[in-house]
Structure 1
Amino acid sequence: MRATRPARLTIIAAAAVLALGACGAPGSGGGEADPTSSGTSGKATCDPVAGEQLVVLEDDGGLQNADNIIPAVNAAVAQQSPAVVELLDTVSASLDTPKLIDLNKAVDIDRRTSSEVAKEYVETEGLAATEQSGAGTSLVVGAANFSESVTLAEIYGEVLRSAGYQVEVRTIGNRDTYLPALVDGTLSTVPEYAATLADFLNARVNGPDAPSVSTDDVDETVAALTPLAEESGLAVGQPSAAQDQNAFAVTQAFADEHGVATLTELAEACGGLVLAGPPECPERPFCQPGLEETYGLEIGEFKSYDFGLIGAAVRQGDAAIGLVLSSDGSLATD
């Protein structure tokens, strides 16, 4: 189960507002692991610990597929102007998840424009081109209708402009809308997500019942994506280290108290956990069932929330662990 990205702006804005009001609220269980209370496994029950800062626990068992940011380019554009892919690959090389979190914070929480943030990022990272390889060539960079995609598209646009291309950045809509425009050349390039795009194209090429081709390994996922993209009239560049995918977060205070940094360590240390997630979480393989089957995590109670309220629930101490997006701006540490 992946959260729907087009709802991201609403999600983060709601989470940020609630987080400001929730900081420092006492946890329902006082934040102590009760040695006299245990789950069915005999592990101590680790009560929620309230705190302002959330930290994502490493998915060391590979529950989530590799949704790394990757440039998708119209095949004709890639063939006629190979410098386009090369320039976009410099963006991928510069980007990791902490930087993506900071970009999202700047737009979604600090309320700066995507264009302003993109210009600053390109300057800070030294991404401006040194050669005018695109002089006289016009390109249209597409973006999905959520802020992270718009910011990434603006970064693509800034880098391409620095090489002499005439660039328009255009927000289109969801994947069903922008992908046909990318294939037919209305759009030149779009920032994409490796695992999601691979499975989307696989369903288009091989039918809706085709098994997933994405895995938790980004190289395997891109290897599966590349021929599907080519068959669909697209080319893909190099994936970045930045990921926007489902993740599970606890408060920093909880992680420090129980000495956990990974989901495996959490499963070994704690039983009877209170999990916060969207209503469908108990039925979706990437949510509660995945935690139980992949990690043996013992969930004592599930609490259902609208996605935008999950982070606040964990911060307030209403749940020990919650489903978040790995690039959520509210995860920024400064």
Structure 2
Amino acid sequence: MKTTLIAAASAATLALTLAGCGSDSGSDSSSGSGSASGGGTIAEQMIFGGPPEFKTRADGIPGLEENYGVTFGKYTVTDVGGPVTVNALLRGQVDAADLFTTDPAIEANDFVILEDPKSNFAAQNIVPIINSEKATDGVKEILNQISDDLDTETLGELIGKVANDKEKPEDVAKTWLADEDLDASGDSAEGVSLTVGSANFTENIILAEIYAQALEAQGADVQTKLNIGSREKYYPALEQGSLDLFPEYTGTILTYIDKSATATSPEDVYAALGKALPKNLEALDYSEAQDSDAVVVTKETAEKFDLETIADLAKNAG
């Protein structure tokens, strides 16, 4: 039987005054919408919003500085590509933010994804990271089939069903598994007991539900711990064994583990990830589906500063 332990974020989180919880990374800035005055680059007059790890991750703020010469005036901690980040952009509390490319909020709010011509963000294929002790042949077969059936367009559609149609992640997962004929009862995972976790954003929760439901249908004893939070919170639990399975993203988990990683193609990132993971964890087959980090601004900000690529943020503000 599956037991769901959801560490739900409180409603108050969405109402945080984000402008007050940032930290300076350069020139001072006290509000969004390019409100800082004076010279310098466009980015230096901006507040950037993203999860805690993006500030120090190799392909986060350090990568933007190294690859594009972009230094933001202030960094404000929001959430992992979720409603706090979206609302901060809409309200002008941040000027640019880290969102995922499949986020339906981008199209819904006419946000602009700044192009990444230098491939600061490596390939971000969906991949199950599993405790090696729980990776039986039957479990691997189930999860690898899920990876084989997922693609980027489908992933975006699944997110949209939750974000736009207000369906529950567990129902979206159940429907997709049925559509792909992956919900049949069986015994290929019988005798395996594992805990499936997720980060605190819709896509990751849907993926965790897909893994959990498919394994449970094949006889596994599954517990879920959903909506945990950022990688700093869940990765230690995965490494230490209190979590057994997690839907991850090849590029970001690689750079989180190995800050010196330089691989960018799907194949090279996956190979480097296999070497970087601790011995008790392994990456199963990665999916064609990708969801990459992106630097996103509002349409108004893009037009105001004539922004098309991340490199444009390093131009003189004039």
The equivalent residue for 1:158 is 213
2:234 to 170, 178, 186: 178
In 2: Cα distance, 1:16 partner to 1:108 partner: 17
2: distance between equivalents of 1:288 and 1:56?
9
Asked if 2 retains the 8 angstrom alpha-carbon contact of 1:274 and 1:301, the reply is no
86, 94, 101: which one aligns with 2:156: 101
Cα distance in 2 for residues equivalent to 1:56 and 1:174:
22
Kindly provide the CA deviation profile for residues 214-245 of structure 1, in whole angstroms up to 9, marking residues without a partner as x. Answer: 31x1100000000111x352100111112221
| Structure 2 portions without partners, runs of 5+ | 1-47, 55-78, 92-106, 299-303
Q: Tell me which amino acid in the other structure corresponds to 2:230.
A: N
Q: Is 1:221 matched up with 2:269?
A: yes
CA displacement at 1:156 relative to structure 2: 0.6
Q: TM-score, normalised by structure 1?
A: 0.57
Amino acid at match of 1:236: A
1:275 is the counterpart of 2:297: no
Q: 1:167 aligns with which of 222, 230, 240?
A: 222
Question: In the aligned structure 2, how far is the partner of 1:241 from the partner of 1:59?
Answer: 20
Identify the match of residue 242 of structure 1 among 289, 292, 296. 289
The question of whether the paired residues in 1 share the 8 Å contact of 2:194 and 2:220 is answered with yes
**Same amino acid, percent of matched pairs:** 32
Any idea what SS the aligned residue of 1:139 has? Answer: strand
- Asked whether the 8 Å contact 2:129–2:245 carries over to 1, the reply is yes
The one-letter amino acid of 2:283's match is V
Does the aligned pair in 2 maintain the 1:3–1:246 contact within 8 Å? no
Query: Is 1:88 paired with 2:137?
Result: no
- What residue in structure 2 maps to residue 288 of structure 1? 310
Aligned equivalents of 2:108, 2:195: Cα separation in 1: 43
Partner Cα separation in structure 2 for residue 155 and residue 2 of structure 1:
30
Listed one character per residue, the Cα deviations across residues 254-301 of structure 1 (whole Å, up to 9, x for unaligned) are xxxxxxxxxxxxxxxxxx97228xxxxxxxxxx623x69xxxxx9797
When normalised by structure 2's length, the TM-score is: 0.60
Aligned to 2:134: 77
Question: Higher relative contact order at CA 8 Å, sep ≥6: structure 1 or structure 2?
Answer: 1
Quick check: which has more Rg, 1 or 2? Answer: 1
Structure 1: tracts of 5 or more residues without a match: 19-49, 204-210, 252-271, 277-286, 293-297, 303-334
Q: How does 1:1-334 map to 2 (within 5 A)?
A: 3-4=50-51, 6-10=79-83, 14=87, 62-78=119-135, 81-129=136-184, 131-171=186-226, 172-203=228-259, 211-215=260-264, 217-229=265-277, 231-247=278-294, 274-275=306-307, 288-289=310-311
Aligned length: 226
Whether the 8 Å contact between 1:140 and 1:188 is mirrored in structure 2 is yes
Q: In the alignment, residue 275 of structure 1 is paired with which amino acid?
A: L
CA distance in 1, matches of 2:204, 2:108: 30
Deviations along 1:304-329, one digit per CA (max 9) or x if unpaired, are xxxxxxxxxxxxxxxxxxxxxxxxxx
How far 1:199 moved relative to its partner? 1.2
Q: CA deviation digits over 1:132-162, x for unaligned, max 9?
A: 1122332210111222111110011111112
- Check conservation: 1:140, 1:167, Cα contact below 8 A: yes
Q: Specify whether residues 59 and 240 from structure 1 end up closer, same or farther in structure 2 by C-alpha distance, changes over 3 A only.
A: farther
Question: Shift in Å at residue 246 of structure 1?
Answer: 3.0
- CA spacing shift, 1:54–1:175, aligned 2, 3 Å: closer
In structure 2, what is the Cα distance between the partners aligned to 1:177 and 1:220? 27
CA contact (8 A) 2:152 2:290 kept: yes
Could you tell me how far apart the structure 1 residues matched to 2:229 and 2:142 are? 24
Aligned to 2:44: none
After TM superposition, give the deviation of residue 62 of structure 1 in Å.
Answer: 4.0
* Structure 1 vs Structure 2 CA RMSD: 3.7
State the secondary structure of the residue aligned to 2:307: strand
Looking at structure 1, the residues matched to 193 and 280 of structure 2 have their Cα atoms a distance apart, in angstroms, of: 19
Cα displacement (A) at 1:98: 1.2
- Give the direction of change, closer, same or farther, for the CA distance of 1:130–1:55 in structure 2 (3 Å limit): farther
- SS for the counterpart of 2:285 is coil
